[in-house]
Amino acid sequence: MANYLVTGANRGIGLEFTRQILHRGERVVACCRNPEGATELEALATAQNDDRLVICRLDVMQATAIASLPELLEKKGILIDVLIPNAGVAASSERLGLIQEETMLRVLHTNAVAPMLIAQAFADHLQAPKRNAKIICISSDLGSITYASGLTFGLSYGMSKAALNMGVKKLSSDLAHRGVMIVAMHPGWVQTDMGGPNARFTPTESTLAMLRVIDKLSMAQSGLFIDHQGQQLPW
Ligand SMILES: NC(=O)c1ccc[n+]([C@@H]2O[C@H](COP(=O)([O-])OP(=O)(O)OC[C@H]3O[C@@H](n4cnc5c(N)ncnc54)[C@H](OP(=O)(O)O)[C@@H]3O)[C@@H](O)[C@H]2O)c1
């Protein structure tokens, strides 16, 4: 049984990852910033009737909480095989003249800084011969500079995911020395609170496709920016 850790697991794509991984018979450490309000995770835990769902408090803006998480899991005897920094935020109403420092820093921190701190915190924890450990940073095609339009709309979000992609590339060599691979993965345009109701894929479709790709990922693909079907995306 493999152990997965998902951040932002209380709704959207993170919740669907949690559902599907449990359905496959694996264990999930489902991290969310407010476990008391995570009713759908609680319902999954109740239905589960075993110890394969571990709900864990984690606000990814809190660096000390990130740093202490691996040891906390080790004390419970849990070693993570697949780490999925998924938690993310977008900012609405960004236009030239409406750009705000606080918003930009929050989006950059959540989407780019936090996944790097999470990868760093777990680097030793994931390192174990033959464990084939993987870090799947949930990115976005809106972080592709090649695809970007010249419009200010989505400024912080696009910048944050481009920064995340760079971070994935930059960490890939150091992690490879430890036998850990890392990718930036675009989930497609997905029907969640963030993606909205008109998005192309349901969370089920997107996550099913991502898990199929994740299963097959090898060290040869470390440092790449790929989509939910495994296709490489331009930086
Ligand atoms: N949906 C799409 O079309 C799409 C496309 C490309 C990429 N993505 C990426 O996919 C990932 C998941 O997005 P989604 O569509 O599922 O979005 P969502 O429905 O808005 O869910 C976002 C999740 O992130 C969590 N989160 C935000 N800030 C956090 C923090 N500081 N600490 C811990 N958790 C935090 C939220 O928790 P709370 O409930 O506590 O706020 C929630 O669980 C994101 O990285 C997003 O950028 C989504």
Residue of 13, 40, 37, 41 whose CA lies nearest to 29? 41
Protein residue with least CA distance to atom 21, ligand 1: 12
Length of the chain: 235
Our mutation pick for probing the ligand 1 site, out of 69, 92, 192, counting the most ligand atoms within 8 A of Cβ, is 192
Nearest ligand 1 atom, CA 139:
7
Q: pTM of this prediction?
A: 0.98
203 CA distance to ligand 1 centroid (A)? 12
Report, at the CATH architecture level, how domain 3-227 is classified.
3-Layer(aba) Sandwich (3.40)
- 146: which residues sit within 8 A by CB, 6+ positions away? 234, 235
Specify which residues 55 forms β-bridges with.
30
* Atom of ligand 1 at shortest range from CA of 59: 32
What is the average pLDDT value for the chain, to the nearest integer?
Answer: 96
- Residue 42: pLDDT band (50, 70, 90) is very high
d(CA 130, CA 125): 13
Q: Parse the chain into domains and list their residue ranges.
A: 3-227
- Residue-wise pLDDT tens digits, 44-103: 999 988 899 999 999 999 999 999 999 999 999 999 999 999 999 999 888 899 999 999
Is pLDDT at 167 greater than 80 in this prediction? yes
pLDDT at 22: 97
pLDDT band per the 50, 70, 90 thresholds, residue 129: low
CA 106 to centroid of chain Cα atoms: 17
**pLDDT tens for residues 190-224?**
999 999 999 999 999 999 999 999 999 999 999 99
Task: Supply the residue whose CA is at minimum distance from atom 32 of ligand 1.
Answer: 59
How confident is the model over 101-128, as pLDDT tens digits?
A: 999 999 999 999 999 999 999 999 998 7
129-149 mean pLDDT: 92
Ligand 1 pocket, Cβ-based, cut-off 6 angstroms: 7-8, 10-14, 32-34, 58-61, 86-89, 110, 138, 140, 186-187, 189-190, 192-195, 199
- Quote the CA–CA distance of 158 and 153 in Å, as a whole number: 9
